[in-house]
Amino acid sequence: MQKALFISDITDQIAPISPDCPNAVIYDLFRDTPDLMVVAVADADGTVLGLIERHTFNLRMAAEFGRALFSRKPVTAMMDADPLRVDVNTPLRDFTRATLAERPSELMRGFIATRDGKYAGVGTSLSVLKAISADLQNAFDLQQVMTDDLLRLTAEAQRSQVFLNTVINNIPAMVLVKNADDQRIRLINRAGEKLFNVKACDIVGKTSQDLFPPDVTARILASDRKALDSSDAVIMEDETFTDDQQRKRVLQLKKTVLRSDNGEADSIITLGMDLTEQKEAEARIAQLAHYDPLTGLANRALFANDLEKSLSRAQRSGRSFALMCLDLDRFKAVNDSYGHMMGDQLLIQVAERLRACVRKGDLIARMGGDEFAVIQDITRVDDAQHLAGRIVEAMKAPFKVGDMRFQIGISIGIVLAPQDGLDPHNLLSRADLAMYRVKSEGRNGWCFFRPEMDEQLQRRLEMEQDLKRALADNQFQLYFQPLLDLGSHEITSFEALLRWHHPVRGMVSPAEFIPVAEESGLIGPLGEWVLKTACNAAANWPQPWRIAVNISPLQFRHKSLPVLVKKALKASGLPASRLELEITESVLLENEKQNLSILTQIREQGVRIAMDDFGTGYSSLSYLRAFPFDKIKIDQSFVRDLPHDRDALSIIRAITDMAQSLGVRITAEGVETPAQMDALKDLGCHEAQGYLIGRPAPGIDAYCPVAKTVAA
């Protein structure tokens, strides 16, 4: 700002001269001080008496006789006794204005400045003009500076505005500003335009009522009100807006009110983040965390969670629920033989059928592989029974995957809570126990958990421990059972049957301990021991009888079986042609390709391969075409009903007819009576094995006479 000028700013502080000072002195003073224009005359106390102006003084002194007349006279004779007086504190503007109005002629002359009526300096019109002109120049300069500043600030403001607009428009969130009073939209950025599929120019100046339906408007206004009533930002989620493709968007809105200094609301800024993709990703993560991606069923984690909830509900309300463990039968065979893609398709279809069986509110989970579980709310035990029955029934129809059709089954173990327990882990293992019971009893069915199953499990665990010691402690022994040729009535071979002399329990049946050995992995070393011992025994027999050794499907898991066979033959010196391996069809059910290759390698050594328990499986006949078996052993369950049962007769006849056409020898197991033996002979069986011919015994010597007797 320009500073205002006062008289004090333009006066010269020249000392006044006294009234009795002669004019000659003044003359000399003016001569020696060319810039001195005026000089005041004042008393010693500062009382102003008059003013001497250079111009007038010099004119008078220069006049004819002027110097002679005035030189010696005191200055009072030459002075202007009524000079213009002005207080030093008078603003210059007022002085000039007043002087111009009242005594314009004085302006061109000198004047005396006073302070409290006493002398304070002298001034001239020139000094006034100088000051005014300097003042004008200053004002002009100031105006120029201000104009420049203004231009600079305007440019800066414009740059800031452009920058701010760029920032606002590039914020990846919606920014919408509206007036606090009339709610009209003042600004919307590009993200907002995109979100609402509008153009800023079309909505600026409008209100929510102009743009949205009444229900949406009501919600917007309510949230605005909430923001206006709050001193903080208000955050909310909104799911009512849809984008240009009518897809629902989930928005997070943050409303902040801008207020003036006096606290009055000026505008409402709404910041909107589109959380749709984030929410979808969260939902996908939750889906992955809780659902099996292949079948869409609940996964193990969600199942565990649900089980906990069902248990606490059962505890609170006493309402029962059923927990079922489901395991597919023969799924592994499909997976191994036809690949995982086929297996996956099959699992998807199984899941669909399961879904169709349960009621709303029941939970089906895929626990992994081909294992599933169900949690079912029940009012009666029958409910669980019915559901299990429905599921078993639903799995019966063949599954069609591509051009293939698969027949599989399902085994279901059921526990009831809270009756069977309240510990989730315990309940699951009990349902598993019941499920294994179904498996062991021929699969494809359901079974409720019974407390004795726990005891059986306990016994099984104990047996596993005992088995581990048994091999090292030489508790195993091989028994041999003879096989008779029905044509020649000669003993042809012996089957090696494993016996376990348990130190406490006595003789334990292989039917009891072989499954335990299989489950615990002990079947590997045990089977190897059987193979070696059987070969060693047969190598020492007085006659070239063959020895038949049972091989568990589990022994096929290791590709080394052909090597073990070779080693056993080599170590014992038994010719390969005298060794026969008995396998069951489950060997070909699991990992068919690999197992067929193992069988082929063994057969190529000259070892004979027999299919045991023929007829008990599901697809025995098809396996006869898959591998050139040397022998088929008809399961004793068919022999038992001979000679009178028509079904047994026709089954055995069908087997022998087919075997004949394939050139395979047929052995019948479990022959106990002469009538059975005769019937088998008539049906075309080549060989017989059973108590009638000889019971399994620790050595062969004892059986030779028996065999001869029968033969005779």
Q: Return residues touching ligand C2E (CB under 6 A).
A: 481, 496-498, 509-511, 514, 527, 530, 550, 552, 582, 612-613, 636, 669-672, 689-691, 696
For ligand C2E, the closer of residues 421 and 690 by Cβ is: 690
Q: How far is the CB of 691 from ligand C2E (least distance, A)?
A: 4
Using DSSP, state whether 521 is helix, strand or coil: coil
Q: How far is the CB of 489 from ligand C2E (least distance, A)?
A: 18
For ligand C2E, the closer of residues 8 and 560 by Cβ is: 560
In 379-475 the beta strands, taken as DSSP E runs, fall at 399-401, 404-406, 409-417, 445-448
Instruction: From residue 415, give the alpha-carbon distance in Å to each of 372, 378, 449, 618.
Output: 14, 12, 5, 29
Q: How far is the CB of 669 from ligand C2E (least distance, A)?
A: 6
Provide the 10 A C-beta neighbour count for residue 158.
10
Q: How far is the CB of 492 from ligand C2E (least distance, A)?
A: 15
Contact 183, 211 (CB under 8 A): no
Q: How far is the CB of 579 from ligand C2E (least distance, A)?
A: 13
Q: How far is the CB of 337 from ligand C2E (least distance, A)?
A: 23
For ligand C2E, the closer of residues 562 and 696 by Cβ is: 696
Q: How far is the CB of 499 from ligand C2E (least distance, A)?
A: 7
Contact 670, 689 (CB under 8 A): yes
For ligand C2E, the closer of residues 56 and 536 by Cβ is: 536
For ligand C2E, the closer of residues 326 and 496 by Cβ is: 496
| Dihedral sign for Cα atoms in the order 228, 233, 236, 240 | positive
Contacts of 614 (CB under 8 A, 6+ apart): 585, 620, 632, 633, 634, 635, 655
For ligand C2E, the closer of residues 190 and 557 by Cβ is: 557
Residue 502's φ and ψ, nearest 5 degrees, are: -75, 135
Using DSSP, state whether 295 is helix, strand or coil: coil
For ligand C2E, the closer of residues 481 and 493 by Cβ is: 481
Contact 388, 412 (CB under 8 A): yes
For ligand C2E, the closer of residues 335 and 550 by Cβ is: 550
Contact 710, 693 (CB under 8 A): yes
Contact 156, 145 (CB under 8 A): no
Q: 121 in the Ramachandran plot: left (φ > 0), alpha (ψ -120 to 50) or beta?
A: left
Q: How far is the CB of 435 from ligand C2E (least distance, A)?
A: 23
Q: What share of the chain is helix, strand, coil (3-state, %, to 5)?
A: 50, 25, 30
For ligand C2E, the closer of residues 641 and 672 by Cβ is: 672
Structure tokens at 479: 């028994």
Q: How far is the CB of 339 from ligand C2E (least distance, A)?
A: 29
Q: How far is the CB of 552 from ligand C2E (least distance, A)?
A: 4
Instruction: From residue 383, give the alpha-carbon distance in Å to each of 319, 320, 421.
Output: 13, 11, 19
- Which residue is listed with tokens 């339906």? 213
Task: Name the strand (E) or helix (H) holding 672.
Answer: none
In 537-596 the beta strands, taken as DSSP E runs, fall at 546-550, 579-583
| Dihedral sign for Cα atoms in the order 100, 105, 108, 111 | negative
Q: How far is the CB of 687 from ligand C2E (least distance, A)?
A: 13
For ligand C2E, the closer of residues 485 and 672 by Cβ is: 672
Q: How far is the CB of 484 from ligand C2E (least distance, A)?
A: 12
Instruction: From residue 636, give the alpha-carbon distance in Å to each of 651, 676, 680.
Output: 13, 11, 12
For ligand C2E, the closer of residues 208 and 572 by Cβ is: 572
Q: How far is the CB of 615 from ligand C2E (least distance, A)?
A: 12
For ligand C2E, the closer of residues 373 and 549 by Cβ is: 549
DSSP letter string over 69-84? Answer: HHTTSBGGGTSBSS-E
Residue 116's φ and ψ, nearest 5 degrees, are: 55, 40
Contacts of 531 (CB under 8 A, 6+ apart): 549, 551, 564, 565, 568
In 312-459 the beta strands, taken as DSSP E runs, fall at 321-329, 363-368, 371-377, 399-401, 404-406, 409-417, 445-448
Q: How far is the CB of 567 from ligand C2E (least distance, A)?
A: 17
For ligand C2E, the closer of residues 255 and 665 by Cβ is: 665
For ligand C2E, the closer of residues 409 and 690 by Cβ is: 690
Burial class (CB in 10 A: 0-12, 13-18, 19+), 17: buried
Give the integer Cα–Cα distance in Å for 490 and 703: 12
Q: How far is the CB of 534 from ligand C2E (least distance, A)?
A: 8
Q: How many Cα atoms sit within 13 Å of 447 on the Cβ side?
A: 23
Residue 399 C-alpha from the chain's centroid: 33
First CA to last CA distance, the chain: 144
For ligand C2E, the closer of residues 192 and 527 by Cβ is: 527
Q: How far is the CB of 474 from ligand C2E (least distance, A)?
A: 15
Q: How far is the CB of 373 from ligand C2E (least distance, A)?
A: 32
Residue 521's φ and ψ, nearest 5 degrees, are: 85, 0
For ligand C2E, the closer of residues 208 and 689 by Cβ is: 689
For ligand C2E, the closer of residues 252 and 586 by Cβ is: 586
Give the integer Cα–Cα distance in Å for 112 and 53: 11
Give the integer Cα–Cα distance in Å for 407 and 330: 8
